[in-house]
Amino acid sequence: MKKLKIELPQQIISEFCQKWQISEMCLFGSVLREDFRPDSDMDILVSFQDSVSWGLLEFSRMKRELENLLGRKVDLLTKKSIEQSHNWIRQGEVIKRGRMQFAPTII
């Protein structure tokens, strides 16, 4: 597995995911490629526990909190939104090439 171009604080990521009842968090996009720069945003895909149904306000808070924790802009997407996308090329790229950062088995 290729080394990330950025150091992620795993304990903080784990606490964030537990707080927001995230069951999986994956990175995708430029953070996994050579073109990732200091000013690049981070593309993050999340799945929530089955009992969770966050609204737009909570999702916005979650995104801002993650940006503050990571010190950069974040493009936060849900796995459900990608799975329902009509753009099957993007869907395949994100799901197949994403790199798991949090799941109950890796904490």
Mean pLDDT by 10 residues, the chain (107 residues): 74 95 93 89 94 94 96 94 84 82 69
Spatial distance between the Cα atoms of 107 and 94, rounded to a whole number of angstroms: 22
Tokens standing for residue 48: 């929530």
- pLDDT of res. 107: 45
Q: Domains of the chain, with CATH numbers?
A: 10-106 (3.30.460.10)
**Angle in degrees, 0-180, between the axes of helices 56-70 and 10-19, rounded to the nearest 10:** 170
- pLDDT of res. 100: 87
- pLDDT of res. 7: 79
pTM of the model: 0.86
